[in-house]
Amino acid sequence: MNPILYVDMDDTLCKYTSTLLPQITPELQFPQGQLGFYLNLEPIKDAIESVITLINSGFYDVYILTAPSVINTHSYSEKREWIEKYFGYNFCHKLIISPNKGLLKGDYLIDDCSSGKGQESFQGELIQFGSDKYPTWGSVMDYLLPQKTKYTFLQMKEEIQ
């Protein structure tokens, strides 16, 4: 049985904060409450390619684990549509939406936050994306994949560009 690897969405796979902050104004206090907000988030550099490489590596059982927005009830369906857009319909079966990530059992959680949505209770290893230790997807991939698979990631990245 392969180790279970969870990947967060907001600010790990897609640009949540950099999309949200410029839109906060007195007239629009909660821009993330708008229809289409989550569906239209842009992927973070190398995030899609990295997760596809992890899926295809055969070393991990990969899931997307994201917390919903209670401000925007559409976040549930839009996050699911976002996953289909970038990973295909079949991978939607690997989407878990939970307000408490600490309830899930697994070996790794890649998340930009170390607390707030149950990350502090997660019993596996937290790989904090964007931290000094893991500032980019390249550093995450260096940690998670054995040396022999790094060529596959670099090759896939070149083919996509």
With 0.75 as the threshold, say if the pTM is over it.
yes
User: What rounded mean pLDDT belongs to the chain?
Assistant: 87
Residue pair 101/122 in contact (Cβ under 8 Å)? The answer is: yes
Q: Closest by alpha carbon to 141, among 114, 117, 108, 115? A: 108
Neighbours of 101 (CB within 10 A): 24
State residue 108's pLDDT score.
98
pLDDT tens readout for residues 88-132: 999 999 999 999 999 999 999 999 999 999 999 999 999 999 999
Q: Distance (Å, rounded) from C-alpha 12 to C-alpha 6?
A: 11
Active site residue 10: yes
Active site residue 8: yes
Domains of the chain: 4-160 (3.40.50.1000)
Burial 24-45 (b: 16+ CB within 10 A, else e): eeeeeeebbeeeebbeebeebe
With a cut of 80, say whether residue 35 has pLDDT above it. no
Residues present in the chain in total: 161
pLDDT tens readout for residues 124-135: 999 999 999 999
Q: Distance (Å, rounded) from C-alpha 5 to C-alpha 64?
A: 8
Which is higher by pLDDT, 37 or 44? 44
State residue 22's pLDDT score.
55
pLDDT tens readout for residues 1-30: 999 999 999 999 999 876 765 555 556 666
With a cut of 90, say whether residue 143 has pLDDT above it. yes
Res. 146 pLDDT band, cuts 50 70 90: confident
State residue 90's pLDDT score.
96
